[in-house]
Amino acid sequence: MPLPKRRHSKQRGRKRRTHYKATIPALTECGNCGEAKMLHHICPSCGFYRGEQILEGKEA
Amino acid sequence: MLHHGKKTAKLSRTATHRNAMLSNMAASLFLHSKMTTTTPKAKALRPYVDRLITKAKDGTLHSKRLVASYMPHKVALKKLFEEIAPKMGERTSGYSRVIKAGMRRGDNAEVSVIELLLDKPVETVEKKEGKGKATKEKGDAPAKTSAPKKAKSAKAGASKPKAKAAKTAKAGK
């Protein structure tokens, strides 16, 4: 069984993981209700997409 | 093997499993005319459904048997031939559409709404100038071929003087 020769310090691991970052989703305002929505997605709050009611919204 | 030119999504299923699933999903879509599912499934279902509708528009016994071999659900089959196919007269393709609808709680999978475009107006996309507009007049057909040539020659003509101007500018410096 191969084993690591040296201790892997906390610093080493943490430094490697500094590049693990969450990306911020691209959001725009809904053209119908003005809430934040994801691009090319149905608006989750009003259910509109490109000026058309596709789904029922939360407050509809 | 590279993934080039492979249009059908496998969806982590064997061929029989996949065909059975698409058949079931097509039946559901015809019965409810709108449904929510994961985006890859919706996108796999879209061409499947569109082909069934195109066949159903024939309305012949043969087309009915063909469609039934892909979707044996009797109620859905009847609805497809008697209600859905006649309504799709104006369209020649694109009978269904997929719109993304966010992430699913539980596994964070992206879900989409797939729906039949039953009473929606048919949108026509006007092509950009130079490529020839898609109009009803037949007289436009020869114009289509000549227009790009003109555009090209115009571009070539425009670029040459620019090049000359650039040269003279450099020479001036």
Which ipTM did the prediction report?
0.75
**For the whole model, what pTM was predicted?**
0.70
Chain B residues closer than 8 Å to A55 by CB: 36, 101, 113
- Asked whether the beta carbons of B67 and B56 are under 8 A apart, the reply is yes
Q: How far apart are CA B48 and CA B95, in angstroms?
A: 11
Tell me which of B9 and B31 has the higher pLDDT.
Answer: B31
Burial class of residue A20 in the structure, from the number of CB atoms within 10 Å of its CB (0-12 exposed, 13-18 middle, 19+ buried): exposed
User: Is A37 a member of any domain?
Assistant: yes
Name the band, by pLDDT with cuts 50, 70 and 90, for residue B150.
Answer: very low
Record: contact A42-B113, CB cut-off 8 A: yes
Tell me the β-bridge partners of A53: A48
The confidence band for A11, taking pLDDT boundaries of 50, 70 and 90, is very high
User: Looking at the partner chain, which of A38, A44, A55 has a beta carbon nearest the beta carbon of B113?
Assistant: A55
Q: Is residue A59 part of a domain?
A: yes
The tally of domains found in chain A comes to 1
How many residues are recorded in chain A? Answer: 60
Cβ within 8 Å, pair B101-A55: yes
> Of B148, B131, B32, B46, nearest to B84 (Cα)?
B32
Average pLDDT for B93-102: 92
Instruction: Report d(CA B120, CA B48) in Å as an integer.
Output: 20
Say how many CB pairs under 8 Å bridge A and B.
Answer: 22
Residue A38 lies in domain? 25-60
Domains of chain B and any CATH numbers: 15-116 (3.90.1030.10)
DSSP B119: S
pLDDT of A52 reads 81
Helix, strand, or coil (residue A14): helix
The pLDDT of B86-115, averaged and rounded, is 92
The answer as to whether A34 is a domain residue is yes
Name which of B36, B100, B115 is nearest A41 (Cβ-Cβ): B100
What's the whole-number mean pLDDT along residues B104-114?
Answer: 94
Is residue B26 very low, low, confident or very high in pLDDT (cuts 50, 70, 90)?
Answer: very high
Chain B residues in contact with A38 by the CB 8 A cut-off are 100, 102
